[in-house]
């Protein structure tokens, strides 16, 4: 992968941006992962963590709400920067994909397991990082454990009542008790995330990797919003995709490239905590595989992918196009970098987050309390609100020596 070539396309844009000076105005287009909560969640996270990082790093950061996003006035590295954040909304689709019924969740579990095992996609995934598959096994284990506990409780109730009642009659309160325990477990799901994570994995597998029609329509809207941002008087449009939002961002930008990017500000792409192989390795993911191939080989949009081995919910340091087997021979992207939680978080902070796996998956969007004194260290707030484009800040770094590029997917056909 080239990380410092010169010439036309993105390289010329980067050279002009550097010659013109620092970024003064930016639009950040944020694509969240599989999250049923509205954009306010991300605004408040940015407000809290941005203030913490500003105190730690010694700069000024002021946030104000603005519609479905927010604006940031920052003074970083001696420069005044104005950034407008826009969250691309798909939480309504997520909510629709999260059935309330307990039986429906168990049905999703069976269908999802059938897709991954029946298509053989699970075996290549095991050759990559084990964390995401263990994360996928977690809701299955928890749901089966809850079912076993509920069944055991029902059996004990039935056994106790059978002393006085016929077995068929004792079975009625036993079933009611078992079902009540399952409902109680579901009420606790905001703490144990079994149902939520099952819905997440089931969503990508529902059509064996293909995008549902309602999601395709939303991606078209995301592309229109990105194109509109390109028409604004700004120096950079930065698209950020976190978790499942990473592969959605790949498809949005690939579509824009096919349509033809207009002249305008620098367009940059940052993916955080991606788990792209969970979808791209499925048989009907031809559309996503074609998008990965295009984004890996194009020369207009710098793409930086940041992950961390300490995050068990991501395919850390796995080049998503390369491991899927669709990266072209002259692939330039992504530039795969590590957030290096072991070096950028203090021992005390790491100990605090050690067993909070879901929170660690959001650490990319949060403050780091042990950042090295280096201008190109990964720090979300300097990237999104600082005076340099993504490429000017991160482009001098070399890919992580631990990155994984071996093609392992058995499905490599593209749309």
pLDDT band, very low/low/confident/very high, at 258 (cuts 50, 70, 90): very high
pLDDT at 174: 72
Spell out the long-range contacts of 14-20 with Cβ–Cβ below 8 A and sequence spacing 24 or more. Answer: 14/266, 14/302, 14/389, 14/391, 14/392, 14/395, 17/235, 17/236, 17/266, 17/389, 17/392, 18/392, 20/235
Q: Please name the residue that has the structure tokens 């010439």.
A: 7
User: Is the pLDDT score of 393 beyond 60?
Assistant: yes
User: Is the pLDDT score of 4 beyond 70?
Assistant: no
Per the domain annotation, does 133 fall within a domain? yes
Please name the residue ranges forming H helices in 21-166: 40-57, 91-96, 102-118, 122-126, 131-161
pLDDT band, very low/low/confident/very high, at 169 (cuts 50, 70, 90): low
Give per-residue pLDDT as tens, 345-367: 888 888 888 878 778 888 999 99
Per the domain annotation, does 115 fall within a domain? yes
- 328 within 8 A of 293, measured Cβ to Cβ: yes
Give per-residue pLDDT as tens, 396-407: 888 999 899 999
CA atoms within 13 A of residue 205's CA, in its CB half-sphere: 24
pLDDT at 133: 67
Per the domain annotation, does 360 fall within a domain? no
Cis peptide before 334 (omega within 30 of 0): yes
Strand order in the sheet with 60-66: 60-66, 69-76, 79-87, 25-31, 236-242, 266-272, 303-307, 335-338
Per the domain annotation, does 117 fall within a domain? yes
pLDDT at 47: 93
Percent pLDDT > 70 in the chain is 91
pLDDT band, very low/low/confident/very high, at 53 (cuts 50, 70, 90): very high
Quick one: which H or E segment has residue 63? strand 60-66
Q: What is the mean pLDDT of the chain?
A: 85
pTM (2 decimals)? 0.87
Per the domain annotation, does 298 fall within a domain? no
Instruction: Determine the average pLDDT of the residues in 80-103.
Output: 88
Give per-residue pLDDT as tens, 223-243: 999 999 999 999 999 999 999
Q: Could you list the residue range(s) of the whole structural domain that residue 126 is in? A: 100-205
Give per-residue pLDDT as tens, 137-164: 777 777 788 788 877 777 787 777 766 7
Per the domain annotation, does 254 fall within a domain? no
pLDDT band, very low/low/confident/very high, at 168 (cuts 50, 70, 90): low
Radius of gyration of the chain (CA): 23
Specify the number of domains making up the chain. Answer: 1
pLDDT band, very low/low/confident/very high, at 183 (cuts 50, 70, 90): confident
User: Is the pLDDT score of 1 beyond 70?
Assistant: no
Give per-residue pLDDT as tens, 14-46: 444 444 448 999 999 999 998 888 888 899 999
Per the domain annotation, does 253 fall within a domain? no
- Distance between CA atoms of residues 16 and 266, nearest Å: 10
Per the domain annotation, does 265 fall within a domain? no
pLDDT band, very low/low/confident/very high, at 132 (cuts 50, 70, 90): low
Q: Please name the residue that has the structure tokens 């700069």.
A: 59
Residue 202: both structure tokens together: 């089931």
**Minimum mean pLDDT range among 15-24, 49-58, 185-194, 252-261:** 15-24
239: β partners = 29, 269
User: Is the pLDDT score of 207 beyond 80?
Assistant: yes
């Amino acid at each position: 992968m080239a990380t410092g070539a010169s010439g036309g396309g993105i390289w010329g844009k980067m050279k002009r941006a550097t010659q013109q000076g620092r970024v003064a105005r930016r639009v950040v287009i944020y694509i969240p992962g599989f999250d049923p909560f509205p954009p306010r969640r991300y605004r408040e996270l940015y407000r809290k963590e941005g203030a913490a990082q500003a105190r730690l790093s010694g700069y000024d950061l002021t946030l104000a709400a603005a519609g479905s996003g927010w604006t940031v006035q920052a003074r970083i590295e001696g420069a005044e920067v104005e950034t407008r954040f826009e969250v691309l909304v798909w939480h309504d689709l997520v909510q629709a994909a999260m059935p309330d019924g307990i039986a429906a969740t168990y049905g999703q579990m069976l269908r999802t397991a059938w897709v991954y095992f029946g298509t053989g996609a699970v075996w290549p995934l095991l050759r990559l990082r084990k964390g995401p598959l263990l994360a996928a096994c977690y809701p299955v284990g928890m749901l089966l454990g809850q079912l076993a506990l509920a069944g055991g409780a029902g059996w004990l109730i039935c056994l106790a009542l059978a002393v006085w009642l016929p077995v068929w009659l004792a079975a009625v309160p036993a079933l009611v008790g078992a079902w009540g325990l399952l409902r109680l477990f579901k009420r606790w799901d905001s703490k144990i995330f079994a149902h939520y994570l099952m819905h997440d994995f089931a969503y990508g597998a529902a059509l064996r990797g293909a995008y549902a029609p309602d999601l395709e329509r939303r991606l078209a809207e995301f592309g229109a919003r990105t194109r509109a941002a390109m028409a604004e008087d700004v120096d950079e449009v930065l698209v950020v995709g976190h978790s499942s939002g990473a592969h959605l961002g790949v498809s949005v930008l690939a579509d824009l490239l096919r349509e033809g990017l207009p002249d305008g500000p620098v367009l940059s792409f940052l993916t955080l905590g991606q788990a792209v192989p969970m979808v791209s390795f499925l048989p009907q993911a031809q559309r996503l595989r074609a998008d990965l191939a295009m984004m890996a080989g194009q020369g207009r949009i710098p793409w930086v992918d940041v992950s961390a081995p300490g995050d068990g919910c991501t395919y850390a340091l796995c080049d998503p196009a390369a491991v899927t087997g669709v990266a072209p021979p002259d692939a330039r992207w992504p530039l795969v970098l590590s957030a290096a939680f072991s070096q950028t978080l203090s021992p005390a902070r790491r100990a605090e987050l050690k067993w909070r796996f879901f929170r660690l998956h959001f650490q990319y969007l949060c403050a780091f309390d042990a950042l090295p004194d280096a201008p190109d260290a990964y720090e979300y707030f300097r990237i999104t609100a600082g005076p340099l484009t993504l490429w000017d800040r991160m482009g001098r770094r070399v890919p992580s020596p631990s990155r994984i590029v071996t093609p392992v997917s058995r499905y490599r056909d593209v749309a």
